[in-house]
Every structure is written in C-alpha cells, then in structure tokens.
Structure 1
Amino acid sequence: MALIPGGLTPQSVGDLLRQARENAKITQAAAAANLDVARTTLVAMEKGQRRPRVNELQKLAALYGLSLNELLRQDGTRVDLRPRFRHLGEESEKLQGAIALLNDLVQAEVELEDLLGIKRTRLDPPERPLLPGNVGIQAEQDAAELRQWLGLGLSPAHDIMSVLELQLGARVYIRKLDPKISGLYAFDERAGACILLNANHPRDRRTQTSAHELGHFVSTRRSPDTLHEGTPESTREERYANTFARCFLTPARAVHTKFRELTAGASRLTRRHIILLSHIFGVSREAMVRRLEELELAKPGTWEWFLQHGGITDMQVREVLGDLVKPDEAKVDAKRQISMRMSVMASEAWRQGLLSEGQIARLLHMDRVDARRLIDEFEAEGVETDGSRSFSA
C-alpha cells in the first residue's frame, strides 16, 4: 500500500528524495536498481507522480546513508535552543544539563510531530514589550489584559499548564531537575514557547513558575529565562515577571471578593481561611498570604507570624480540604523516562515504519533495551484494543 508519512504531499516527498540522491552523488539508474524498479519509476517518484511505499523509502534512506526521518525531514525541523541561553552566562553544570534536556525534548517532539503530520496549533498572546516607567503597574495591566484575551475574566486559573498548552500552544515539559532549578523558558520561531518545569517541586510552586515564565512570554518573548533559587529581582524583566505572575494568578478584585466571602463575620485571619484561598487560586499558602499583605487585606508580617506559630502544614490542608486534595499526576508522569505523550508518538512512528528501534533510542536519548520496552508496551496495548473500535477516516 502506498504511504506518504507525516502527511507530506507526493511532490514534497519527491523533492526530498531527489535532494538526498543528489547529495549522496548517486545516479537515478543506481537508485532504481537498488529498488529493483525501472528508472522511469524512480523519476516518477521524484516528480511526485508516483507515491513511494514505506519499504522503498527505507531502502533509499539506507542507500543515501540517512535514517528515514532524516530523509523525510523538512527544512526548519532542526531546533537548537542552547545558543540562546549562552548569552545569559550561566555556568552551573546542573543548569546546563537542564538547558540541554529542554533542547532535546523540544527537538524530539518537533521531529515526531513532523513525521506523523501533527500540526500543533499555536496562539501566541499579544506581545507587550517593557515600557519606561513603573514595570509593576505595566505587569498588572498586562496580566489583566491577557486574562480578558483568554476569556478568564476574574476566574481562577485552576490549571495554568493547560492554559499554556491547550489555549496558547506552548510546549510545557515537567521533568525532574535539581531542586534549586525552578524552570526554564525559551522561544523559537519554529517551535514556539518552550517551558521546562521541575517535577520535584510541589504543584503550587510549579504554577507560580509557569506564571512567571508566561510573563516572559508576554514581555521579553525572545529572551530566554532561567528561574532558580536565589534569582535576584534586580532587573526590570524579573520584577515584571514576578509581578505579572502574582497578578495573573491572584487578580486583586477576585482576591478581595473571595476574601470578603470567606472571612465574613470572622474577627481574625485563620489558617483555614488561608488554606481555602490558596486552594481556590491554586497558589502556595505563602504566596497567598504575601498577596493578602500586598493588597492590605492582612497585616505586614502575617506570614512570619504563622511560621513562628507552627506554620500551615500539609496535614492541616488535608484536614480542611479532604478529597479536594488531588494526586499530582505530573509527578507520576515525570517518573517515566519520557512523557506519556512522547512515548505514544514515538511508538506510533515505529508502527508506521517511520523510525526503527535504534532511531527511537537515539532520538529520545535512551538505550536500545528501553526503546524495545517502550515498543513492547505499545504493541501490548494495541493487542488489547484492536477490534474495539477505530477512528473514522
């Protein structure tokens, strides 16, 4: 059966075949002989008049000294984010490892999408470069504007990762990093916004990091960012991103409204109030108290008072929220060598004959044993679901 991988047109595949053959300095006659077809058949393939089959593509790739994905790679597939970060002068070995991980994840995902013909939908938000004057005021205005643009209004952004991925089309990865590294952000014209978050951090901290990187996406889109422990707020860019994150996650009017509802009739601010407010807005207890202080809904030093009197513990949170405390699914997925989405795409590329086991191992930076295990899991799931129902054409 004829197949054009990745949704490429026959003309596009033909151009790629011709370019690869010419680069390998192989004649049409020699290539046709390798396929055991007439030269006119190969000519028809290169002109897009005859669809090549997967086994024919595999033979030609081997003849030209390429992998199948290299043979069918379109211009612009290559993504390299690392040079952008070098301008930051970051020397930490662990940070450089995180940068390399983000680059590898983006490159693999883009390549798999191209092979499978997946067209990622992107909706980059309006860019708001930093202006002279008070960046805090600008950040608050920009956060409110983006909320309106996204249709959030004053509603809590319960799952900012979904906002980033599903509404904006950003690439968000959650992997285990050094505890001191919170997140990385980079923008590429081809891949879009790319964000790496630390799976070792609690969900509410990742939420704060996501909003911080969203602030960079809005204001300093083409400048990479590394957020880690001790990142100073000395630059206007960092002050903007931090203020943007607070205002996006906890809009002043929404916080005032919920605070009034929850504390109605109360004579003092309690742990229960803080737990409920932080749950409503999806932020940490400390971030919530700091925001209340900033909005003058709590006295300065309130968070320090709680710390001096035992803090607000996870056990107390479970006592107040009960079943509302959900498992952190991102942490579960991060225990896998690669994400569930990436493993599904890689396995499907193998099933379609677009990638070999060895090519999957190289692309995903795993050994052959792990690549084989990934494929075996995919095949086992396929056996279980075959015949249940299929997608309509």
Structure 2
Amino acid sequence: MQLNQIDPITLGDRLRVARESKQITQAVASEAINAARTTLVAIEKGQRKLKISELKKLADLYNCSVNSLLREEAIHVDLVPRFRKQMSSHANAGEKAASTMTQLAKAEVELENLLGVQRVKNYPPERPLLPGNVERQAEQDALELRQWLGLSQSPIHDIVSILEFDLGVRLYIKKMDSSISGLFAYEDALGACILLNGNHPRDRRNLTAAHELGHLVSTRRVPEVLFDDDPQTSKEEKYANAFAKAFLMPSRALINKFKEITSGATQFTRRHVIILSHTFCVSREATVRQLEDLQVIKKGTWDWFTMNGGISNEQALEVLGELAINNRDQGVSEKPTTYRLNSLICQAWQQELLSEGQLVKLLDIDHHELRDILDNHDLDGSDADDAPSLFD
C-alpha cells in the first residue's frame, strides 16, 4: 500500500541517495535486481515503477529498511557528495565527518516530525562577496549581525545557543579527526547545518562556529570543510576568518577591555592575556593575534610568549580561580549533541515514542553516549509528576 501511495520521483530520489551514501554503483544495484543499468536509472528518475521484490533487494543492498524508504516523514539527504570537491586532502576524515553531520541532521528532523515540533529559521540576510577588501566587508557584516541580534558590543559567552535558538541553525558537536575543525552545509530540506570538532577546546570551537557563521552570511550554498592545515587564502576563507574575529571580538569592545585591564601597567603580561581570552571566550592566541592586527600591541607578541614558555592552563587556573573551574565546557566535549537535540532526544524517550535501542540506531551513537544524554538531562522522574504542566 505504501509503495502505491508514494510518488515515484520521491522514491527514486531516496533510492539514489541511499545508493550514493553507500558508494554503490548503478551497475551493482541493477545487477542486484536482475535488471539493466538503464532500468535502474529510470527507477531513480521516477520513470519506471518499482516492484516490491525489487525494493526489498535494494533496501538489503543499501543496508536500510523498506519502511525508511517509504515513510512519509523520512528525510533522505546525503551531504557527503557536496563536500568531495573540498576534501582533496584528508578525504577519509572529511567524508566521515560529512556522513556524521548528515546522520545527526536527519535524526533531528525525524525527532521533530515525531514530536510535532516545527523548527523556526531566522537566518540573517545573505551578503554576497563584493569586489574590494573582503575583510573590511566581513567586519561590517559581523557588526550588523550583532546589532540585528541585539548583542551590541557585549562578549558572546554561548555562541552555540545563539546559533541554535536565535538563528535556527542545526548545530552539532562530535569528536572527529584532529585535522578537521568544522563543517558547514546548507540544504533546502535541512537548512543550515554546522558540525564542530568535540576534540577541540571550547574557545577554539567558538571561533570555528563563528567562522562557519560567516559562511552562512556570505556563501551559504557552498559547503565548507575547515581543515587545520589549509592555507585559507581564498576570498571566502579570508572573509570567514575576519567575520569570526569581528563577531566574537568587536574592535571597540576588545580595545576598551584591553585599556581597562592594562591600566597602570608597563608591560603586557600573561595575566592580561588570560583575562582577555576568558572575557571574549576565544583562545589566547586568537586574542593576542587580534590585538596585533588592531595595532594595539606590537607584532610578534604572541610569538614572544610562545618562545618564552607559552601560557599554560595551570597559569589560567591561578589567574581565574573559580571562574576557570566552573567553565565546564572548556575542555573537549564528551556529548555528541547540543542543547536542542538533547532536549528532543529526551522528550521522545520520556514520552515512550522511541526506545533506547531505536534512539541509538537513529543517532548512530552507542548506549553509553545515549545514557549520558538521558541521565544528564533535567528530567528527573521523581520530580516530573509534580512539575507544573505546560497546558491548562
């Protein structure tokens, strides 16, 4: 019945995506159903009706269920092919990361549909790159976005929440190969998606998130993988880098804070760097480099610190005290998802819409990771019965 009801073009597109995601050729797939390759092409274009026996064979070949291909709410998107041109180096790591982002985005859409939740998108206006100085354009666009979000010159302590809740971006944090900092993709069915490397410290993830936000503002339909060893000399990358620094560390705010904490001092010390870095929630190196670019301090200041022992986390702990201790997310992220997706997971589980086994399969995580999400969510069963209802 489901096979007769589904649009052949929709089913064909889902079959194509499922095949490509497993890197199976049309020749292999057509052989599996004892048909010519031209027949498979016609099926994927919706020009030839599929038999149920053929559908079952293809589902087995693609390692997916028949139901997942037929159900109305299924989202069939594979972001990997979109990234392949950007992944000439570290191809395997890049493909794995793109596949992870696809899995998490599809899982989030499935949970939204299951719970009847409609995601609100509030993307800023797109600002195509213009001739001239793209870094100056980026700084202006970053300041305009700050004003649009009502942030003024205030430091941004939680860029993840801004991206997720204020803008409606699908954002995920997952441990990845150390060569990758982040990924950005825009797809009509999903919207804007960002994946950050959970192996990186929070201050570094913040800068990566702001970098990918720059791509959403300027070149949102071009997928991007941010590799650590890339020269980043293109106009798009120069724009994204300048946007990230201006968005997290507005020039006037950074200079004013610099003057405040160095008042009366004759030298720029590690203590000053640690306080500035903590205030703007970015790495110490990024903070000092930005001050150098603004010509507030001498060029080569960060290199001097590096050559003279650097600035350690132990020194930061001495300077910040409890402020450093209470910063729970400063280290690597042990959670595979972020606030919004965590909430959807827990709601689906609490309402018994999905079992733990189904959630593990949907999210492609292990039982330990899922149990950590459920245990750390504010859904204590002993309090839930007495909690105020959201409805009259």
CA distance in 2, matches of 1:336, 1:304: 34
Whether the aligned pair in 1 keeps the contact of 2:288 and 2:302 (CA below 8 Å) is yes
Is 1:256 the counterpart of 2:255 in the alignment?
A: yes
**Residue aligned with 2:264, SS:** coil
SS of the equivalent of 2:199 reads: coil
Counting matched residue pairs gives 331
Contact 1:186–1:225 (CA under 8 A) maintained in structure 2: yes
Question: What corresponds to 2:146 in structure 1?
Answer: 147
Could you say which residue in structure 2 is the equivalent of 1:53? none
Partner of 2:187: 188
Deviation of 1:273 after TM superposition, in Å, equals 1.1
Aligned to 2:228: 229
- 1:260 Cα offset (Å): 1.3
- Structure 2 distance, partners of 1:251, 1:382, is 41
State the match for 2:270 in structure 1. 271
**1:197 aligned residue:** 196
Alpha-carbon deviations, 1:280-309, whole Å to 9, x = none?
111111111111111111111111111121
Return the alpha-carbon distance in structure 2 between the equivalents of residues 195 and 360 of structure 1: 21
The letter for the 1-side match of 2:80 is R
Task: Determine helix, strand or coil for the equivalent of 1:254.
Answer: helix
Relative to the length of structure 1, the TM-score reads 0.75
Q: Identity of counterpart residues, as a percentage? A: 49
Deviation per CA, 1:26-66, whole angstroms, max 9, x where unpaired?
xxxxxxxxxxxxxxxxxxxxxxxxxxxxxxxxxxxxxxx96
The answer on 1:132 being equivalent to 2:131 is yes
Aligned to 2:386: 388
- The equivalent residue for 1:175 is 174
**Residue identity opposite 2:315 in structure 1:** Q
1:375 shift after superposition: 11
Gaps of 5+ in 2: 7-64
Gaps of 5+ in 1: 1-18, 25-64
Matched, 1:22 2:4: yes
Alpha-carbon offset, residue 196 of structure 1: 0.7
Partners of 1:95 and 1:181 within 8 A in 2: yes
* One-letter code aligned to 1:328: R
Identify if the C-alpha distance between structure 1 residues 74 and 321 changes in structure 2 by more than 3 Å, giving closer, same or farther. Answer: same
The 5 A counterparts of 1:1-393 are: 20=2, 22-23=4-5, 67=67, 73-74=72-73, 77-90=75-88, 92-325=91-324, 326-329=326-329, 334-336=333-335, 342=341, 345-346=344-345, 348-349=347-348, 354-355=353-354, 359-366=358-365, 383-393=381-391
Q: Helix, strand or coil for the counterpart of 2:231?
A: coil
Aligned residues of 1:286 and 1:303 also touching (Cα < 8 A)? yes
SS at match of 1:152: coil
- The CA deviation at 1:179 is 1.3
- Alignment TM-score, normalising by the size of structure 2: 0.75
**Counterparts of 2:123 and 2:161 in 1: how far apart (Å)?**
14
- 1:359 positional shift: 4.3
Q: 1:190 deviation in Å?
A: 2.5
Q: Any idea what SS the aligned residue of 2:192 has? A: strand
Partner of 1:87, secondary structure, is helix
Structure 1 residues 339 and 156, CA gap change in structure 2 (3 angstroms)? closer
Separation in 1 of the partners of 2:190 and 2:80? 14
For residue 53 of structure 2, what is the aligned residue in structure 1?
none
Secondary structure of 1:131's partner?
Answer: coil
Deviations 1:229-249 (A, max 9, x none): 111122100111111111111
**2:203–2:330 contact (8 Å) kept in structure 1:** no
Amino acid at match of 2:292: E
Q: Kindly state the Cα deviation for residue 211 of structure 1 after the two structures are TM-superposed.
A: 0.8
The separation in 2 between residues aligned to 1:197 and 1:233, in whole angstroms, is 18
Q: Is the 8 A contact 2:2 2:71 kept in 1?
A: no
Q: Aligned partners of 1:282, 1:191: CA distance in 2, in Å?
A: 29
Q: Residues 159 and 383 (structure 1 numbering): CA distance in 2 closer, same or farther, change over 3 Å?
A: closer
Contact 1:186-1:223 within 8 A present in 2 as well: yes
